[in-house]
Structure 1
């Protein structure tokens, strides 16, 4: 469809055409990319990330080979991580449930995990 054979379009020509169509492309200096699914996390170290903005619609392209790890375990030791990095329950929710139910934060976190983060259900289960 594009070009007349060989290796396709010259990258400079492609960039020029995209600009004419209102598409901006920029490289993102990513240190790590994590894609979380219900069953597992995909962790890309040193991935090449490109951001395309086509008239307000942003698209990210990730190039690299991911490592598949257990769901919710990726990125646990990043700066500012929660004390219990494997948990998806925010510390603020744990503190709120602990205060409302009059229990320790460990008990509150366990109750929240049992009810998939539902604050009201966790408080009710602890009372």
Structure 2
């Protein structure tokens, strides 16, 4: 953006503040970008909110998993199969146990994994 290859990070931060640009790190567990054809699911991404001139922009750094739109739940009560797979794999449990934990934690992947560990 600024072409400051060797610029000191503190100096860069001062320049950004002078221009009215504020940045905040967001401790995100998951980010989902839903399109008509697919969902891009970022697990444990680095997310930064950038506020400048009254507008907020979000920057996401991470490697997404892709799931087809057909895998997305048709209603809000259903847990997506891809979430069940993630929890089962990370916690080393059956899909049934993973689904039960996700339902108990209202679909929160991190809380479901923590519940099972």
Which residue of structure 1 lines up, in the alignment, with residue 76 of structure 2? 82
- Could you give the per-residue CA deviations for residues 84-123 of structure 1, whole angstroms, max 9, x where no partner exists? 456xxxxxxxxxxxxxxxxxxxxxxxxxxxxxxxxxxxxx
| Among 8, 17, 20, the residue aligned to 2:18 | 20
Larger Rg, first or second structure (1 or 2)? 1
**In structure 2, how many angstroms separate the alpha carbons of the residues matched to 1:73 and 1:47?**
21
Q: TM-score, normalising length from structure 1?
A: 0.54
Q: CA RMSD in A?
A: 2.2
| Among 5, 8, 15, the residue aligned to 2:6 | 8
Q: TM-score, normalising length from structure 2?
A: 0.58
Which residue of structure 2 lines up, in the alignment, with residue 50 of structure 1? 48
- Could you give the per-residue CA deviations for residues 26-76 of structure 1, whole angstroms, max 9, x where no partner exists? 1011110000111100000010000100021101000000001112645x6
Structure with more helix by fraction: 2
Specify whether residues 27 and 72 from structure 1 end up closer, same or farther in structure 2 by C-alpha distance, changes over 3 A only: farther
Structure 2: which 5+ residue stretches go unaligned? Answer: 81-117
**In structure 1, how many angstroms separate the alpha carbons of the residues matched to 2:37 and 2:60?**
20
